[in-house]
Chain A
Amino acid sequence: MKQIVVISGKGGTGKTVLTASFASLAENKVMVDCDVDAADLHLLLKPEIRERYEFRSGVTAKINREVCKECGECLSVCRFEAISRDFVVDPISCEGCAVCSRVCPEGAIFMEENVSGEWYISDTKYGPLVHAKLGIAEENSGKLVTQVRQAARVIAEKYNMDYVIIDGPPGIGCPVIAALTGVDLALIVTEPTLSGMHDMGRVAQVSKHFGIPTKVIINKYDLNLKNSETIKEICKQADIEVVALLPFSRQVSESIVQGIPLVEFSKNGIAEDIAVLWERIK
């Protein structure tokens, strides 16, 4: 079983479009959407939810105003600016450390468990998809990523799948690290912009830090040929293979509007390049 994650550092470089195309091209695989706070893969793969699970994570402080004497002990210990001067907890800022509830001399603060999202095992015409929806304004997206990856792994092992294909989140923080851990290949999708190059550099350092074999795809390479050359040079020096140069194409947004993977929307141009790319990395 080979686990492949598509990441980018910078958002909007084409992770989901590529992952959906791999879903169509690869045989015998399970798909995972690890961009749990803005998941879009389901818009192309059209899943039917088969199993649904609650994601519980962490706790949030709540002040019982009947009991509270407004002594201010909680205010003085909270390091997350989560308690207002009129003694109301802002659930968004609260990180659930429970220190306030421990210091409250009146026992007026209790900790409530968060239901911070849901995750699903679904059927698609491309095979199983494990995906999730993080509750609005919730934290712990890294834990939810770990949860969906774990579920995908179990499915892959049970059915003897050849691939786990993972749509990763943008950035370099907690959810990205959770999406990268233990994969066999990280594909970084970048674009020939200063931002794309800068962010590729940072996320490549993260994958190197965790010892993950990494390859780069330059998307919309023809928007700035000079920058594309620079990316190739940077990758060469970092000993990272550039596995594909994909052109800018209006077919991409058209396929998103149609709600189908790019390689099914079209068979030529960029779609053909992606098919060739899959043969190279599979």
Chain B
Amino acid sequence: MIISVASGKGGTGKTTVAVNLALSIKNVQFLDCDVEEPNAHLFLKPKMHSIKIATIPIPQVDESLCNYCGKCREICAYNAIAVFSDEDNKKGSVLIFPHLCHGCGGCKLFCPQNAISEVDKEIGVIEAGISRDIQFVHGKLNIGEIMSPPLIRQVKQYIYRSRNVIIDAPPGTSCPVIGSVKGSDFCILVTEPTPFGLHDLVLAVEVIEKMKIPFGVVINRSDIGDGGVDNFCRSKNIPILMRIPFDKDIAFLYSNGIPFVTEKKEYLQKFADMFEAIQALIGWRGGRMQ
């Protein structure tokens, strides 16, 4: 089954929950889909055994075939192509803006001259490794690159469904989050009980409901703040899966990249129980839905 961990607001403890859950159950594959700022490797310290360059296809124009008709520019929905036609004694030209290209392939498909081919443009890397018995994969977006969704899709191609797949998603509610969470059997939303946490939780709940994915909430630093998150969950009948009180020890372990279940063993059982509760919530029995 696939469980994703998301949040709306950043810094609420997605990676903490995802990593500690991974260490508390068996047969785990861990995917860090926060490709802009991947952090899970700092805690799981996987030994990487493979690295793959992630690319998107971008167009390349063979100007010996191009007649500067401008069809590609017309097709491109992202303004990633400019075409200057022949003028008097000046030869035309085609300009491609790779950072705007989504790699849809439309220009190549519709070029009447067959002058467009595709070349790979690097957007980041995907590293795979192993940490204890956890299979680990993460994507790392290159600096200055804006297209995280295609990299997230490529990380997700590594999903090995017979494992308990845990996906650490990026913060927010827009395309990178959706790309990460899509296809999950369950989503854990991590929040904190402050008005910021509540406001962003409400948005995240709307997104997950729209995606029709079953979900529950983990309240982190549960004793700092107010009762807003609790009231909201109660009024919407959202299961609260776990509460993690603020604890300077946990904060300190986190700051040093140590998953807190390795020091506070009582939480191993709490996370394992949460995993069972999730399975019960979605009616998951021995690898298939009932």
Contacts and interface: CB of A to CB of B under 8 A. Distances in A.
Ordered nearest first, which 4 A-B pairs have the shortest CB separation?
A11-B10, A12-B11, A97-B104, A171-B36
A97 B102 contact: yes
A202 B37 contact: yes
B106 A98 contact: yes
A173 B196 contact: no
B92 interface: no
11 contacts: A37-B203, A40-B196, A43-B196, A77-B109, A134-B173, A136-B173, A138-B174, A195-B39, A223-B252, A224-B255, A257-B225
Contacts of B148: 171, 173-174
A99 B146 contact: no
B172 A58 contact: no
A193 B16 CA distance: 12
Interface in A101-130: 102-103
B62 interface: no
A250 interface: yes
B110 interface: yes
Nearest to B11: A12
Contact of B173 (A37, A176, A205, A259): A37
Nearest to A172: B36
Contacts, number: 189
Interface in A26-61: 37-38, 40, 43, 58-59
A212 interface: no
> Range of interface residues on chain A?
35 or more
Interface string A15-32: 010000000000000000
A205 B140 CA distance: 14
Interface string B70-110: 00000101100000000000000000000000111110011
A96 interface: yes
Interface stretch (B158-166, B205-213, B268-276, B278-286): B205-213
Contacts of B48: none
A68 to B, nearest CB: 20
A59 B147 CA distance: 18
